[in-house]
């Protein structure tokens, strides 16, 4: 068992550049793709792997190998590691550490959100360089109020890391909360609050948003100007959920250069071989370019 699997690994010291600047460089170099690392039980089975910590480890290792030097970032889905308890979380710690060693940016898809000291604890877990779970960025839920995320916003800024705040999701239920308010919708207020965090950043800010690739005309309908965000937009939904690179260009318009398209199942179904995953990553990138 490696050092990180024993829970003793610690991430490197805080990077000199902010997350937004590092992500912008990776997107310019490799293309605007984030590969989701989603070890669903069905995928593990399809790959001939056990639904166990050992299966998670092998799955994660192959995806990271395929993504290294080819994708701007990877996005492990935290819940699919949590379901295996401490053994699964040890695998996630290992993946984050190995990605850091390989120079691959990581976005922990944890969707955390709370208030006060609890939010501060979540921030420490996912963003503090002293934590074995520290990623380059983490997804956050703002539905206790955007300012409830302050501990994570401040800690990310202090350590050169980033956050992606849920703004417009593509699930049908999302509109019942996010669209409320019309011209001053909940989603629009979240976008404007994130833009204020990035104000004055000369490159790309480190406070990003999650906007589903399949939200269609919602941005226009709600009067949302994502180009003014001055930060990255994580757009899940490529491939398996039906969105194409061409769809993203239409949906995001002037903000498209800030968009990090995310594909999980459409790439992962090409496994289990690393070579097949590499080919799937290449096809997805071709569509985005």
Known catalytic residues are: 111
Within 13 A of 228's CA, how many CA atoms are on the CB side?
12
Maximum Cα–Cα distance across the chain: 55
215 CB-near residues (< 8 Å, 6+ apart): 168, 169, 170, 251
Beta bridge partners of 106: 74
118-126 own/partner pairs: CB under 8 Å, 24+ apart: 119/148, 119/149, 119/150, 119/151, 119/152, 120/151, 120/155, 122/151, 122/152, 123/151, 123/152, 123/154, 123/155, 123/156, 124/155, 126/152
Taking a C-beta distance cutoff of 8 angstroms, is the pair 49, 268 a contact? no
């Amino acid at each position: 068992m490696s050092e990180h699997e024993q829970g003793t690994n610690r991430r490197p010291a805080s990077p000199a550049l902010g997350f937004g600047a590092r992500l912008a460089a990776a997107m310019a170099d490799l293309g605007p793709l984030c590969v989701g690392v989603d070890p669903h039980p069905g995928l593990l089975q399809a790959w001939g792997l056990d639904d166990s910590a050992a299966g998670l480890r092998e799955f994660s290792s192959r995806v990271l190998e395929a993504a290294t030097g080819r994708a701007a970032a990877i996005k492990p889905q935290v819940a699919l590691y949590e379901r295996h308890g401490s053994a699964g979380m040890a695998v996630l710690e290992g993946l984050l550490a190995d990605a850091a060693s390989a120079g691959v940016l990581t976005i922990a898809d944890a969707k955390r959100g709370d208030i006060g000291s609890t939010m501060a604890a979540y921030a420490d877990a996912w963003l503090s360089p002293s934590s074995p779970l520290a990623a380059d960025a983490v997804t956050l839920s703002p539905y206790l109020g955007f300012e409830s995320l302050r501990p994570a916003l401040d800690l990310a800024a202090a350590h050169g890391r980033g956050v992606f705040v849920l703004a417009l999701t593509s699930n049908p239920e999302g509109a019942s909360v996010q669209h409320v308010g019309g011209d001053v919708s909940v989603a629009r207020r979240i976008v404007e609050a994130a833009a204020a965090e990035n104000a004055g950043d000369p490159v790309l800010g480190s406070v990003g948003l999650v906007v589903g690739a399949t939200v269609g005309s919602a941005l226009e309908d709600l009067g949302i100007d994502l180009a003014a965000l001055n930060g990255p937009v994580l757009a899940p939904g490529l491939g398996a959920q039906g969105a194409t690179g061409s769809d993203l260009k239409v949906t995001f318009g002037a903000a498209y250069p800030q968009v990090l398209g995310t594909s999980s199942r459409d790439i992962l179904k090409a496994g289990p071989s690393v070579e097949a995953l590499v080919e799937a990553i290449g096809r997805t990138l071709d569509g985005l370019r």
